[in-house]
Chain A
Amino acid sequence: GENVEQHPSTLSVQEGDSAVIKCTYSDSASNYFPWYKQELGKRPQLIIDIRSNVGEKKDQRIAVTLNKTAKHFSLHITETQPEDSAVYFCAASRTGGGADGLTFGKGTHLIIQP
């Protein structure tokens, strides 16, 4: 089955700096890669996703890049703000999660230092 590795497990950055979280996956048939943000005690929230026919996607301060050949994808957050502090999860699936489930990375605890 699919295996998703996520690094780093903890990331501390100064407010205003950029943060990058990286994930690798094992199943070459995976073609849907979402990122979720989970604040303490709350549900995971989808912040951005990318499909295999696209190499990069951007939404304001958040961007995701995908390298299908190398089987890795990354989340980039620019101009970090205190409200960006949370645990971020990457995930992968073949069909978009609706049918075959999402395989998640172990999460990255992002800490924004004031």
Chain B
Amino acid sequence: KAGVTQTPRYLIKTRGQQVTLSCSPISGHRSVSWYQQTPGQGLQFLFEYFSETQRNKGNFPGRFSGRQFSNSRSEMNVSTLELGDSALYLCASSFGSLKGDEQYFGPGTRLTVT
């Protein structure tokens, strides 16, 4: 079956702008998590959505937000972009069981803020 997909793959934005990234999970997966990957901070958890509800969020400012649609596709939005937001944004999907299940990552969106 098809893997996790993300669009767009690359983005260049200017400071102060906003951006929306999209993630389509593996068919049947209802949980989508978002991560930020940078050389300095590594992989950091942003938030997770399950059945259109945010269940948990990491330690990021309110400029980072997300949502999930009824087909489990998810979007994340970053407003008022800062240079430090330049990163690879990865989403991961899973069935979302509270007993624990594997997360599978998408290819990521490379965001460059100038």
B45 to chain A, nearest CB (A): 3
Chain B residues with Cβ below 8 Å from A91 are 43
Separation in Å of the A90 CB from the closest CB of chain B?
11
Judged by a CB distance under 8 angstroms, whether B104 is at the interface is yes
Interface residues on A, range: 20 to 34
What is the number of residues of chain B that contact chain A, defined by CB distance less than 8 Å? 31
Q: Closest residue of chain B to A2, judged by CB?
A: B45
A45 contacts chain B at the CB level, 8 A cutoff: yes
A-B pair number, CB within 8 angstroms: 83
* B55 surroundings in chain A (CB, below 8 A): 99-100
CB neighbors of A among B45-102 (8 A): 45, 47-48, 50, 55-56, 58-59, 90, 92, 94-102
A97 in contact with B56 given A43-B90, A44-B90, A103-B45 (CB within 8 Å): no
Complex contact B99–A96 (CB within 8 A):
yes
User: B104 contacts A46, CB within 8 Å?
Assistant: yes
Instruction: Decide if B98 touches A98 in the complex (CB within 8 Å).
Output: yes
Binding site for A on B (CB under 8 A): 31, 33, 35, 42-45, 47-48, 50, 55-56, 58-59, 90, 92, 94-108
Can you report 24 residue pairs joining A to B where beta carbons are below 8 Å apart? A36-B105, A43-B105, A43-B107, A43-B108, A44-B90, A46-B103, A46-B104, A89-B42, A89-B43, A95-B98, A96-B100, A96-B102, A97-B94, A97-B100, A97-B103, A98-B31, A98-B33, A99-B31, A99-B48, A101-B45, A101-B58, A102-B45, A102-B103, A105-B42
Given A96-B99, A98-B96: 7 more A-B contacts, CB < 8 Å: A89-B42, A96-B97, A96-B98, A97-B101, A98-B100, A98-B101, A102-B45
The 8 closest A-B pairs by CB, nearest first: A96-B100, A101-B45, A104-B43, A98-B96, A43-B105, A32-B100, A98-B94, A98-B31
